[in-house]
Every structure is written in structure tokens, then in C-alpha cells.
Chain A
Amino acid sequence: MPFIPHTEDDIQSMLATIGVDTIDDLFDEIDPSLRDVSLDTIPARASEQAVTRLMGERAARDAGGLCFIGAGAYEHHIPAAVWELTTRGEFYSAYTPYQPEASQGTLQVVYEYQTMMTGLTGMDVANASLYDGASALAEAVLMAVRANRKSKASRILMPASVHPFYRQVAHNICANQGITFEAIDYDRTTGRIDTHALERWAGEDVTALVIPQPNFFGVLEEVDTLTDWAQSNGALAIGVVNPLSLAVLKEPGRWGTGEGADIVVGEGQPLGAPLASGGPYFGILCCRKKHVRQMPGRVVGRTQDMDGRNGYVLTLQPREQHIRRSKATSNICTNQGLLVTAATIHMSLLGAQGLENTAATCIANTRSLVAKLTEIDGVESVFDGTAFHETVLRLPADAGAVLNILAERGVFGGLALADFYDGLDNTVLVCATETKTEADLDIYAQALRAVLAEQAEAA
């Protein structure tokens, strides 16, 4: 029997010990009308060989393509050691470290992760991770409402330059708690938050301002000004960052002229998680020390054992659902332990220099790609604000149609933005990470040139 070790002798002897005749007798407390179940539509079991063949065929259908899509998930080289180590059974098949003496491996990894994350973000404290970047933003919003006791309005200023899916997720998770989101428009020239739109809220009761860096368009926001604006208006500053960018960009702990951002979240995927069609990734959440008791999720602390040796435990558990129940800071139970393990190993291997080289190469490749693509007639950059490793381009044709043709020719040319923003028809968000070579960039440029020429001819 698949994954069940019992021999016929075992079964008989166990039933005899229990004092029943059949396994079915063990279900005799259940109403008989419920026990007549048909599973006709579920296939019979397949052998590992057959399933391997099936999955091989299916994976092959999804393989290939030169990917220039970013938009919140980024193709990076992941050192071979990362997942070799992460999938060791002792990490892979362990549970939440509720018995700390038997879980020092997992706990120490998380402590190291928290140290690395506070280093990257310049914040005081990191938690042990949340589900993904989008849900981490939702949790940061809920946290801000708890932490900003002076604000009564539960009002969050949410710039349009934040990832559209993040905005949706934050709304969907927070909507039932009476929190309102006020949209802040972006500047059509720079692609940054429109500070005039922000001024409308000066002097009002604002709970928090969300500050993306880089923003969804890839553009760098004026984080110092925005952080100061938020804090001088009694609002918390919530940063939404790409952790890789912090190898070269100013850390949120130093944003503004005060003590930096209050809460920082981000998608951890660029640190060692494969693209994998969207998950599992992990959500980063860091904050200043004064907010630590409002922080959701698990956190690991260092302590000592009975003999005075250093060891690690889950701490601050009174915030959590299994202790506080309906008064918990969040219903969250799980963290993304395995992804955090991968990220910690990934950062250990790359080090500060490796991360910086990766980030700078992504920036250089994207600049190079944009230069090649904007040489094509009618292709132009939409915004003039300085970018990190993504840029919005306008095409002289229907972007969705062009991307479909490019995909058929093996180039995933980016994300069309028409569905997400009025006024961004025929625009594409492109990204070239360190995985792309000069030849790859040329392939994209040649393919786009050809497709646009065909489109022009057809028109």
C-alpha cells in the first residue's frame, strides 16, 4: 500500500489489541448515512514511474522562453547549494519549532535570517516571515492601525504606484475591519508619487502612508521626503521594498530626517526562491523596536539553557493566535520556514558584495535593454524618473497583441499595463535581471523590431 507500512499480520494483531474485527468498526460512532462515500471521479492510483512520465511531459510544455517579465517576481540565479541544503530532510520535514530543544537548527536559521533582514533594511526587528509580499503589506496595514494610537481614522494612503495586486490583496484582507484606503495618484512625467495629490491629506487624520521603493513602474521614489511627510503628519511610514535593491539603495531605517520608516515589508522571492508560477515565496516584515509588540507572526529570540549555553526559542508568543485567540495581532500561524531557510543560505553565499553585484548587473542590463528597445521607431520610455531594474515602455501598437506574438517566438517581453492603469494603453513593464546576456537582449530587440514592422505593414 502506498506509504503505509502495515503487513496483514500487523493489521490483525492491532485490531485484536483494540478489540474490533475490522478497520471499519473504528468508524462506528459516525452516522451510517455519512459513511457511504463514492469517489468514482478520482483516478485510481498511478505508479511513481507513470506519474514521473506525466509530470515530465507537463513540465516540458511549460519550459523555455526568454523571460523579461518582472512585476513582483524576478528571475535570478540561485546557487546550487541553496536548495541542496534547504531540501535536506531535517529542514524539509520538520515542523514549527514548538519544542525548541529539538528544533535548534530551524530556530537558529530564523535568528540568522532576522539578523540579515535587519541588516538589509536597517530596521530594528524582523519577524520570521509572512506568506508573501502582498499579504505582508496587508499585515503591515493592520499593524499600523494598531500601532498608531493617535490616529482614529484607520485611513491608509495607498499610492497608485504600488503593485496593483498588492493593493487588491491589502484591500481584500483589511476591508472587513473598517479600514479605508485612499488612492494617491502618480506623476505622469516622472512615474513617482504625485506630491500634490499627497498634499490634499496634509493636516488630516492619516494612519499610514505606503511608500514603494522601487515602485511598481520600477521608478525610485523620493523616500526621504515621503517619510518625513508621513511622520510630520502623524502617520506611520510603511515601506514596500525589493530586498535585493537594498544592496545598493538607501535602507528604510535611514529614510527621512527622523528615525526612518516605521514598518517595512517586501517580497522575499528575489533572495533564493524560484519563480515557480508564483509561490511559495515569503513575505518580509521588519519594524522599529517600539512597534515590536504589534508585529504579527512568529519571531525567534536568543536565550540560554539550564547550563548557560546559548539557544534559540520562539518568543513574544503572547501576541499570537494560539495564546491570545480572538485578541491576537493576526490569525497567522505558519511562516514560510523553508523559504526563509533558502534565503538565509542564499544571502550567506552571496554576501553583501554578491548581492550588490547582482543588483547592479540587473540595473545595467535593464538600462542596456531599454537603450536597445528605444532605438526602435515608436518605442519610448514613459517615465523620466530614475529606475531600478524595471522600466515602462510605450509601443507603437497594441501591447497585448505584440506580447502574444513575442511569446509565440519564445520571448516573454514583459507585462502589459493597460488592464491596470487608465492612460497606460500600449505600455509594457520590462525587466532584465543578471540572468540575461548581451545576446539575450539582442534577441528581444530583434524580435520586437520584427513584430512591430509586421504590425505596421499589416496596418
Chain B
Amino acid sequence: MTEKLIFEYSRPGRRALAQAPAEAPAIDDIPAALRRESPVGLPQASEMDVVRHYTRLSQLNFSIDTHFYPLGSCTMKHNPRACNTLASLPGFLNRHPLAPTSHGQGLLACLYELQEMLTAVTGMEAVSLTPMAGAQGEFTGVAMIKAYHESRGDSARDEILVPDAAHGTNPATAVMCGCKVVEIPTDADGDVDTAALRDAVSERTAGIMLTNPSTLGVFEQDILEIAEIVHGAGGLLYYDGANLNAILGKVRPGDMGFDVIHMNLHKTFSTPHGGGGPGSGAVGVGKRLRDFMPIPVVGRDGEGDGATYRWLTEKDIPHTIGRLSAFMGNSGVLLRAYVYARLLGAEGMTRVAEFATLNSNYLMTRLREAGFDLAFPDRRASHEFIVTLKRQKQQLDVSATDVAKRLLDYGFHAPTIYFPLLVPECFLIEPTESESKETLDAFVDAMIAIWDEAKADATTLKNAPVNLPVRRLDEVAAAKNLDLKHDSATAIGA
């Protein structure tokens, strides 16, 4: 089952007439040299064409709403509907970003309270909500670290330490901030090699970027020692909040010694992933970096019912690293996170970490008992864990990709595969707290069934998926013969 392109529904003269002004008033004062000559090649379609087409396209997707989606490091948990409904109230939706704050006290109150809740649950001193995604939160963090060192006349610090298991955004961010990347190896238990770390730090160390629990699905056991080593060398600690779901309300990055953290609100605070965004990468700072926060931040004047809220700008935070988006980040995403936080409350936040960890350890135990190999069999799982299919690859020439594609046939989205890069034939599995025991059991059953299929005839897996809208796609050809847009001249059917 595939769906043709919207352009292929197009017929000259067809329109959805109700949705735009009926006519184009003359605009004779614009010189011809500045005008468009030929109309834009957009589809000419009726409202029903459009509704049917995009409804059908939606049905070609796996999503949290339709499938178990245990994608490691992505926290694909349930997106409560109230968050979307309440963030979409007309008063919020129709407010212009530059409207006076006298007509924005509702929004500002929500954002202020969200700042306060995130500050408390991470153990930091303050939060700025402006970064628009995790990677921008990372950029913010490293830019603040650089600004901190420079403000102290310590500008030779240009090295960012990054564990070899880190997300790709970490080294990419360090480079965007004009820093050099120094990789730190991981030891056999999945922890940062502290001896190597001691050797790596120097008067050039700006800081370290760490995810904890790490991308290997384990909690850094030596985190306090790591903090001591890096701070001792004059560097700062940056916490990549990709895995915050594992410890929310249970352990706080501020208590571990981190100076700055970013949170992926689209993961931990359940705002939608939307097929790849929008995200939201709020940052929390400790006392060393408070003066460097990106603007705008929401400030409060007065207390209780008489309190009023306003944007804090460079006038209030003179050392700020500045503005990172045209307006106030992804405000609509922040409202969704606020609603989620209120629905959970303090106790509910802690329960997120507890049940994410329970589900993960349960699934890990069941898969181990079913005969799958764990990357770190002696460790507790955090909210996620790694299965390595190295043995299956050697015995049956079945790869992580093959098993992943066959899982799709069974109605399960595949876990994250081939990340982290240091574990061969890697399956990074994150069930999240919102899945039931029955779903986890069904996933184990599917993994067992697939393993049995592989033993009987590996081509079943090599040919997978067979139950999806398309079979395996040729990604090499896609990169070689770039086809990045439809040629509508040849497509309009009439």
C-alpha cells in the first residue's frame, strides 16, 4: 500500500476555495522587476482531496499512538491529550510574540512556574526555556561554559571532553562553539575510564559533556569522582539531559555536581515528537553560569495574587550569551510540558523514573532469560539497556538491521540500532514507564519468534519487512541519485 503524491491529485482549476481570500486585489505599485512571473507549482486540489491524502499518509506511519515504540535514547512515552488541548486554547494560540506582556500574563505565569519546577527537579539554580531543541540546549551549555571562562580571563580553555559513547550532537556542538573535542574511553562496565580522564584534563579543559545514565544504559558509578576531577582541573560539567527520564525526581544532576544541563522536554516531559520535531531544550544552570543564561527568561515581580511577570533581557542579565531564537523558543511546546508537569506533580515525576526503570529492568531480565546477550550483564538497567546481537550475526549471519526490520512486521517499532557505536550489532531498548506488562511480554514473544525464524531460515529476516507499505528501501541509491523533489511539470495528470 502506497499513496501517490499530492501533486498527482492536482487538476488545473480545482481549488479549496473557502480557505483563502476569494480574490487578489491589484498590487500595481510593485515594480514588474520585483514580481513573480509564473505561478508557484503547488497542487490544485479540493479540501476532500487534501484531507484524504494526508489521512492516508498518516496511516503509513508507526507512532506511539498506534505501536509500541521502544526506541532507545528517545523516550517514546505516551503524550497525554490534555497537554495538546490546553496549549491550543485560543488565548495562547493567537497571542503575538511581541504583544505587550500585560496581555501575556497567563502564558508568562505558566512559563515562570515551569522554570521553577524544572529548577527544583534538576537541582539547579535557575532555568532558561528558550533553546528550541536538545542540540540547541547543548550549544547553549557549551557557549555558556566558554563565556564563563572568558569572563575570568581564562580563555585558553578550548577543549571539551566527550566520552566515546556520547550522542553525536555532543562533539558536533563542541566544534560549533569553537572548541576541540577530546574523547574519553569507556571501561568494561560501561563507565567513564576515570584514569584516562585524569590524564586528559589540563589547563586547557573547558569542560566535559556527559549523559548520565550514559548512552550505554547504565548509571555512571563514579560520577562524584568525575565531578571532582573536572572541577579540580578548572573545567565545568555539562549534563546532556537526553536520559533524564531515568532519574527524574530520583537523583538530581545539580547534586551530582553538574554546572549546566539541558532537558529534552519532548522526551522527559512528554511533548510530541511530531515526526522529528519540534523539540525543546530548556537549560538549567548552577551558580557559576547563572549570569550567562540565554534570553528571554521569565521574571516575576511581587508575590502571590499581586505578582506580575515580564521577560528578562540583556538589561537584567548583562552577561547573557544572548538570544538564540527570534522570539521565545518553542512556547507552545513549553505550555505542553507545563501541563504535563502539573498533571504529574512532584510525586508523579519521581514515579516516571521508577516505572521507566522497572519496565526496563523487567524487559532486560525477560530477554536475557529468553537467550539474548546483554552488553552489560552485570549492571542494572537504567531506563534503557543494550542487547548485542553479535552472536546471532556470527552464527546465522543475521544482523541487528534484519531483526529490527522483522520486528516491524510483528507490529513493534524497532529499538535504536547501531548506537552507541562501541557495541557491535547493538539494540538500545527503552520501553518507558507508560507501557504495560502485557506489551512488554508481547515484545519478548516477538523477539523469541523472530529468533526461531532466524534459526529455521534466515532469509525470512533478510526479506523483512513484508507487512509494511514498502519493503526495504535502497538508501545507497537515494544518496547516489539524489531525488529531493518532485518534478511537477511531468506529474500533473490533466
User: Which of A51, A60, A333, A364 meets B169, CB within 8 Å?
Assistant: A333
Which of A145-153, A246-254, A438-446, A448-456 binds B?
A246-254
User: Which of B30, B55, B79, B85 meets A248, CB within 8 Å?
Assistant: B30
Does the CB pair B251–A60 fall under 8 Å? no
**CA–CA, A13 to B478, complex, Å?**
48
Does the CB pair A92–B132 fall under 8 Å? no
**CA–CA, A10 to B110, complex, Å?**
36
Does the CB pair A338–B275 fall under 8 Å? yes
Does the CB pair A28–B65 fall under 8 Å? no
User: Which of B96, B347, B361 meets A45, CB within 8 Å?
Assistant: B347
Does the CB pair A93–B106 fall under 8 Å? no
Does the CB pair A94–B27 fall under 8 Å? no
B241 to chain A, nearest CB (A): 13
Is residue B152 contacting chain A, with contact meaning CB distance below 8 A?
A: no
User: Which of B99, B251, B278 meets A336, CB within 8 Å?
Assistant: B278
Does the CB pair B324–A104 fall under 8 Å? no
Is residue B59 contacting chain A, with contact meaning CB distance below 8 A?
A: yes
Does the CB pair B219–A30 fall under 8 Å? yes
Which residues of B172-229 are within 8 A (CB) of A?
A: 172-179, 181, 218-219, 221, 223-224
Contacts A104-B2, A176-B146, A276-B331 given; indicate if A364 touches B27 (C-beta within 8 A). yes
Is residue B16 contacting chain A, with contact meaning CB distance below 8 A?
A: yes
How would residues 263 to 296 of chain A score, 1 for a CB under 8 Å from any chain B CB and 0 otherwise? Answer: 0000100000011111111100000000010000
Does the CB pair A73–B365 fall under 8 Å? no
User: Which of B84, B91, B139, B169 meets A59, CB within 8 Å?
Assistant: B91
Does the CB pair B408–A301 fall under 8 Å? no
In the bound complex, residues from chain A placing their C-beta under 8 Å from that of B404 are: 99
In the bound complex, residues from chain A placing their C-beta under 8 Å from that of B277 are: 129, 131, 280, 334-339
In the bound complex, residues from chain B placing their C-beta under 8 Å from that of A100 are: 470, 473, 475
Is residue B39 contacting chain A, with contact meaning CB distance below 8 A?
A: yes
Is residue B97 contacting chain A, with contact meaning CB distance below 8 A?
A: yes
In the bound complex, residues from chain A placing their C-beta under 8 Å from that of B88 are: 83
User: Which of A42, A267, A338, A351 meets B117, CB within 8 Å?
Assistant: A42
**CA–CA, A408 to B102, complex, Å?**
9
In the bound complex, residues from chain B placing their C-beta under 8 Å from that of A99 are: 62, 404-405, 408, 413-414
A300 to chain B, nearest CB (A): 7
How would residues 23 to 37 of chain A score, 1 for a CB under 8 Å from any chain B CB and 0 otherwise? Answer: 110111111011101
Contacts A91-B274, A279-B132 given; indicate if A61 touches B470 (C-beta within 8 A). no
User: Which of A278, A321, A328, A351 meets B329, CB within 8 Å?
Assistant: A278
Is residue B471 contacting chain A, with contact meaning CB distance below 8 A?
A: yes
Does the CB pair A306–B484 fall under 8 Å? no
Is residue A69 contacting chain B, with contact meaning CB distance below 8 A?
A: yes
Is residue A371 contacting chain B, with contact meaning CB distance below 8 A?
A: no
Is residue A298 contacting chain B, with contact meaning CB distance below 8 A?
A: yes
Is residue B116 contacting chain A, with contact meaning CB distance below 8 A?
A: yes
Sampled A-B contacts (17; CB under 8 Å)? A52-B85, A55-B86, A62-B107, A88-B55, A90-B66, A96-B273, A114-B484, A115-B485, A129-B277, A131-B325, A132-B132, A169-B322, A277-B332, A302-B486, A321-B135, A322-B419, A328-B168
Extra contacts, 17 of them, besides A65-B99, A331-B176 (Cβ < 8 A), are A3-B80, A19-B365, A26-B354, A44-B345, A90-B63, A95-B74, A106-B276, A109-B275, A128-B276, A135-B325, A165-B323, A279-B327, A292-B482, A315-B478, A332-B133, A337-B277, A344-B54
